[in-house]
């Protein structure tokens, strides 16, 4: 007998429906993307700049101060090997930094879309709540206009009492003279 899926856990987490699903290892593309981001982050630090400057200074000192037979890059040629190494480093650094920026742009695009959807939901919820508040106010106003308060009831009763007293006073003063009708003359 198959168990029904648990509603308190997402699919793939202890549910029979998620038995076959396992967490996949990151693809090589994702691994390379994370590597490019690491390189971009590392190259953008003051530590990297200090180390690169220290490396160049040591290179130049070594190739100018050491004995002639220990030097591997001649100062007379303008430190050609150092120039080539720095050019190689720059030629790899630029595309790696661009790849990292593209990945960040993709994440930002997804985040912006999620923010836009969240803002739309919030706006729809706010409009719904505003309509509900207006409906509640209208029903309360309608209910209040139909509700008779003590003061309104007292005023109505006083007006009716005054009207009855007027009619009683007129009736007590006697019948009002009436004009003779045609039947009386015939």
Domain-wise residue ranges, the chain = 26-146
Please state, as a whole number, how many other Cβ atoms lie within 10 Å of the Cβ of residue 85. Answer: 15
Rounded to an integer, the average pLDDT of 124-129 is 94
Please indicate whether residue 3 or residue 125 has the higher confidence score (pLDDT). Answer: 125
- pTM for this predicted structure: 0.49
Q: What gap in Å lies between CA 96 and CA 47, rounded to an integer?
A: 19
CA dihedral 23, 29, 30, 32 (to 10 degrees): 130
pLDDT at 16 > cutoff 60: no
> What CA dihedral angle connects 66, 72, 77 and 81, to 10 degrees?
-130
pLDDT at 26: 63
Q: What rounded mean pLDDT belongs to the chain? A: 82
């Amino acid at each position: 007998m198959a168990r029904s899926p648990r509603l308190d856990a997402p699919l793939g987490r202890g549910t029979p429906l998620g038995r076959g699903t396992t967490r996949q290892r990151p693809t090589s593309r994702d691994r390379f993307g994370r590597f490019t981001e690491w390189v971009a982050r590392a190259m953008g630090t003051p530590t990297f700049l200090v180390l690169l400057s220290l490396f160049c200074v040591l290179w130049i000192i070594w190739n100018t101060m050491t004995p002639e037979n220990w030097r591997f890059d001649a100062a007379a040629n303008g430190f050609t090997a150092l120039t080539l190494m720095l050019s190689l480093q720059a030629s790899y650094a630029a595309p790696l930094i661009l790849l990292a920026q593209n990945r960040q742009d993709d994440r930002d695009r997804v985040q912006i879309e999620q923010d836009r959807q969240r803002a739309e939901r919030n706006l729809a919820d706010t409009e719904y709540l505003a309509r509900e508040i207006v409906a509640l106010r209208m029903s309360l106003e309608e209910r209040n206009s139909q509700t008779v308060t003590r003061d309104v009831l007292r005023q109505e009763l006083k007006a009716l009492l005054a009207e009855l007293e007027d009619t009683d006073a007129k009736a007590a003063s006697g019948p009002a003279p009436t004009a003779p009708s045609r039947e009386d003359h015939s």
